[in-house]
Each structure stands twice: as structure tokens, then as C-alpha cells.
Amino acid sequence: MEFKGAMGGLYRITEWISRIAFSNILWALCSIPFLFVAFMKILMLGTNQGGPNEQITLNWALGILAPFTVFPATAALFTVVRKWVMGNTDIGTFRTFFQGYKENYVKSMLGGVIYTLLFVIMYVDVTVYMTQMANFKIVGILMLVLMIILFVSMFNFFSIVVHYQMTFKEVVTNSFLLTIARPFRVFSTLIGSGVLVYIGLRYPALYFICIPTLIAMLAFFNFYATYNKLQLQVEKKKLADEEAAALANGESEEEEETRENEDKDLKRI
């Protein structure tokens, strides 16, 4: 049954709210170990409980859990929003989510290991150079910039994992290359995500309802726009190459015909 008018608009809005909320819940359920430790860390910081040793232990726990929980769950979430952005809104969210979770688990987990290690290394470098080595603050600033680029490239990493059939090495390489080649589109994703995070800080309940899913939708939307633009450029180049080849073939045929006519004239003489 299809509703029209105001009832139809209201029905579509509630349907989208349900889709986004359900996918968000699935993501949270698959990320429970990481989210629990993160909640404990925030709680300790907010209440000034626990010393440096406890915070370090929690940091280690977050670093270990992230590749095996958050990264596969996020890849599964991107699998769902990819379908939505590409216009296929009638999919089964539960089935699509766990299908993406299963198919992309290894790649997303390996990517999580690499990203986590790089983040830890860069975070330590930034902390040391910015706080303990005043003469090398420029190095700390450079590492901070690289850290931001690394974070931004994760948006492309998840989008490429769910959109292309590539080897793990190709996924990681293209994530960084696309980030560098299309910085404005990617950083617009970063800005939009920052706005959503800020709204979530004002209304924390939204994190459980929609924030992660909306960030994933924004990231894949920008990635897909970049993908379509690159595809159009490739098609134009291919068409230009075909026209040039056809023109060259046409000229060679004319030259061959001219030579044949000249040979016939010589024979007559």
C-alpha cells in the first residue's frame, strides 16, 4: 500500500528513521567490546577516577579491540549505506549488514591493525615532539597533519573495501592515493562528520540512534560522487582515444588507396 501526500511523506520519513536506527543498532552490537572500554575510559576521565596506569591499560585495550570489532562492524555498515546511496533502498538491512560483515571481515580487520598501529606511532610522536622536545615542534606539527590525513583516508578505505573487488594491498594504496588526489571532497566529509559529532556531543542519545550511520552515509556519498566523476573522465578519455585511432586508421586507408592508384597509373604508363 502506497501513501500519497502528507501521509506518504510522513511514512517515508519514519521508514528512513527506522532503517538508520536499526543499522546503527547492529553496528553498536558488533562493536560492544570496544564501546564498553571506551565508555569506561570516558567515565574515568569525567569523574577523575583511575590513575595513569589504568588509562594506559584502557588505551591498550582499545587498540587491541578496534581492529577486531569496530573496523569489521564499520565495513558492514558501509555495505548497507552503499546500497542506499546507489538507490537500492528496498534491501534487507539485517541480511545486507551481516553479509558485508562476513565478506569484508578479513580486509577490514587487517586494515584496522595497520591503521591502529600507525595511529599509535603517530600519536606517540606528536606527544613527544610537542611536549618534550620544544626544538622539534615543527616535526610534531607535521606528524599531526599526517595523522589527520591518515584518519581521513579511513573514509575511503571503508568505501573502497565495500565497492571494489581489490586485494588488500590495492585497497590500502588507493585509499591514500584517493585522499591525496581528491582532498576537498574528502575533507568535506571530515567537516560534515565533525558537525555530526558535535551534535552528538550535545545530544548523546543520537549516537545510539543515527550518528555513526549518518557519518557513513555522508562518507560514501562523497566517495561515490568522486567515483562517478573519475569514471566519466575515464570514459571521455577512452572515447577520445577511439576517435583518434579511428581517424588515424582512416588516414592510413586513404594513404593506402592513394598509393594503389599511383601504382595503377604507373602500370598504365
Lowest mean pLDDT among 52-66, 203-217, 251-265: 251-265
Residue 211 has pLDDT above 90, yes or no: yes
Give residues with Cβ within 8 angstroms of 3, minimum separation 6: 10, 11
d(C-alpha 227, C-alpha 80), whole Å: 18
Measure the CA dihedral 57/157/205/210, to 10°: -160
Q: What distance in Å separates the CA atoms of residue 19 and residue 210, rounded to the nearest whole number? A: 10
- Determine the Cα–Cα distance for residues 102 and 118; give it in Å rounded to an integer: 25
Q: State residue 40's pLDDT score.
A: 87
Confidence (pLDDT) at 73: 96
pLDDT tier at 196, thresholds 50, 70, 90: very high
The count of residues in the chain is: 269
Structure confidence by residue, pLDDT tens digits, 16-42? 899 999 999 999 999 999 999 988 888
- Going by C-beta distance under 8 Å and a sequence separation of 6 or more, which residues neighbour residue 44? 50, 54, 55, 58
Q: What is the DSSP letter of 5?
A: H
Rounded CA-CA distance 4/9 in Å is 7
The mean pLDDT value for 143-150 works out to 86
| Predicted local distance difference test score (pLDDT) of residue 160 | 93
pLDDT at 54: 80
Q: Three cell numbers at 156?
A: 575511503
Confidence (pLDDT) at 229: 85
What pTM did the predictor assign? 0.83
Contact 162, 75 (CB under 8 A): yes
With H, G, I as helix, E, B as strand and everything else as coil, classify residue 162. Answer: helix
pLDDT over 80 (residue 147): yes
Give the tens place of pLDDT for each residue, 112-138.
999 999 998 888 888 887 777 767 778
Mean pLDDT score across all residues of the chain:
84
Q: How far apart, in whole angstroms, are the C-alpha atoms of residue 217 and residue 14?
A: 17
Cα-Cα-Cα-Cα torsion 253, 259, 260, 261, nearest 10 degrees, comes to 110
Separate counts of helices (H) and strands (E) for the chain: 11, 0
- pLDDT greater than 90 at residue 56: no
Question: Is residue 196 within 8 Å of 209, Cβ to Cβ?
Answer: no
Is pLDDT of 96 > 70? yes
Distance CA 243, CA 27 (A): 49
Of the listed ranges 3-12, 22-31, 52-61, the one predicted with least confidence: 3-12
Q: Which residues 6+ apart lie within 8 Å of 161 measured at CB?
A: 75, 78, 104, 107, 108, 111, 171
- 74 has pLDDT over 80: yes
66 and 83 in contact (C-beta within 8 Å)? no
Cα separation, 103 vs 89, whole angstroms: 20
3-state secondary structure (DSSP) of residue 141: helix
**How many C-beta atoms lie closer than 10 Å to residue 36's C-beta?**
12
Gap between the Cα atoms of 22 and 155, Å rounded: 21
